[in-house]
Amino acid sequence: MGVIDLGFVLAVAAMGWGLSVATYRAIAVRRGWPMGTWQERCPRRPVTVGAAAVVLAALYALARGYGGYVVSAALIGVFGVAWAAFWTGFLRVGAQSALLLAPVAAALLLLRWLG
C-alpha cells in the first residue's frame, strides 16, 4: 500500500479551489452563469478568499521546492490549475462550493505545514 502525501494533496486542492473562486465571477459574467450573493454584490470577497488560498499553496510549493522537491513543487501548480479548470468548467454553478472548500483546504494545509 502506497503512502499519500497529504501536504501535496491539500496544496493542489487549495490552489485549484482558490483559483476557481477567484476567477468564477469573470467566467460567469462572460458565459451568463448565475452567481451567488458574494460574486454579485461583493466581488472582492471571493477574489480575496481565492487569492489567499492560492498564495498559501504557492508558498507551500516554493518551500517544498527549496527543500529539494522541485518536481513535486511544480506539479502542485500544474495540478492546481487543472483542478480549477475542471472544477469551474465541469461543475459550473456548483463551482461556487469552492467558496467553502478553498478556505478549508488552505487551513488544513497550514495546519499540516506548521504541525
Rg (CA), the chain: 14
Contact 31, 109 (CB under 8 A): no
Q: CB–CB of 83/13 below 8 Å?
A: yes
- The whole model's pTM is what? 0.91
Domain definitions of the chain by residue range: 6-110
Q: Phi and psi at residue 80, in whole multiples of 5°?
A: -65, -45
Give tens-digit pLDDT for 81-98.
999 999 998 888 777 889
Q: Side chain identity at 54, as an amino acid letter?
A: V
Task: Evaluate whether 11 touches 76 at the Cβ level (below 8 Å).
Answer: yes
18-64: per-residue pLDDT in tens? 999 999 999 999 999 888 888 889 999 999 999 999 999 999 999 98
Q: Crossing angle for the helix pair 70-91 and 6-31, nearest 10 degrees?
A: 40
In eight-state DSSP terms, residue 92 is G
